[in-house]
Amino acid sequence: MIATRAALLVSLSLALAASAPAFAQTAKRQAEPARPKDPRAWMEQCVGDVLRQLAVQQVPEVQAGPTVVRYCDAPLRATLAQAIQSGEAAICTVDSCIGMARDRVIQEIGPEYRELLANPPQPKKTRRS
């Protein structure tokens, strides 16, 4: 089982590495939106932005979760820190629970991403100077 999981992780890493350059170019071209003061709103905004870009590029669902986690690490950490401060995740530190938070994000984005893949947003037209 460990060997199978390791093989899956290696496979996912290779797949992500192959799709990362195209996604990174798209992400760089867009101006970074203003960061909301609420970490949860920031996280929702980040996840939505990344999923829309992935759907436009028709990235397979198996790659969506790890890509979201990679590009939304800062808002995820801020959201987790807020949950710790409010007592929602009182037994955690950011470092001790970040893995669990990443896994949860990967599990929860599936339905939203499938909907976006079924009805992909149109890519924004960029103005050339």
The verdict on residue 4 lying in a domain is: no
Write out the DSSP string of 56-100: HTT--HHHHHHHHHHHTHHHHHHHHHHHHHHTTTTT--HHHHHHH
The verdict on residue 31 lying in a domain is: no
**Which of these, 80, 97, 106, lies nearest to 8 by C-alpha position?**
106
The verdict on residue 21 lying in a domain is: no
pLDDT at 99: 96
Q: Report the range of poorest mean pLDDT among 8-22, 25-39, 43-57, 61-75.
A: 8-22
pLDDT at 71: 97
CA distances for 127 relative to 51, 63, 124, angstroms: 23, 29, 10
Instruction: Give CA–CA dist 58/53, Å, rounded.
Output: 9
User: Do the Cβ atoms of 42 and 86 come closer than 8 Å?
Assistant: no
User: Do the Cβ atoms of 62 and 12 come closer than 8 Å?
Assistant: yes
pLDDT at 107: 95
Residue of higher predicted confidence among 7 and 64: 64
Q: Give the contacts of 123 (CB within 8 A, at least 6 positions apart).
A: 56
Instruction: Give CA–CA dist 46/52, Å, rounded.
Output: 10
The verdict on residue 48 lying in a domain is: yes
Instruction: Give CA–CA dist 12/18, Å, rounded.
Output: 10
The verdict on residue 52 lying in a domain is: yes
Instruction: Give CA–CA dist 82/97, Å, rounded.
Output: 13
Q: Into how many domains does the chain fold?
A: 1
Q: Tell me what the pLDDT averaged over the chain comes to.
A: 78
The verdict on residue 23 lying in a domain is: no
- The domain in which residue 72 lies consists of 36-121
Per residue in 62-121, pLDDT (tens digit) is 999 999 999 999 999 999 999 999 999 889 999 999 999 999 999 999 999 999 999 888
The verdict on residue 111 lying in a domain is: yes
The verdict on residue 7 lying in a domain is: no
Instruction: Give CA–CA dist 126/73, Å, rounded.
Output: 27
pLDDT exceeds 70 at position 24: no
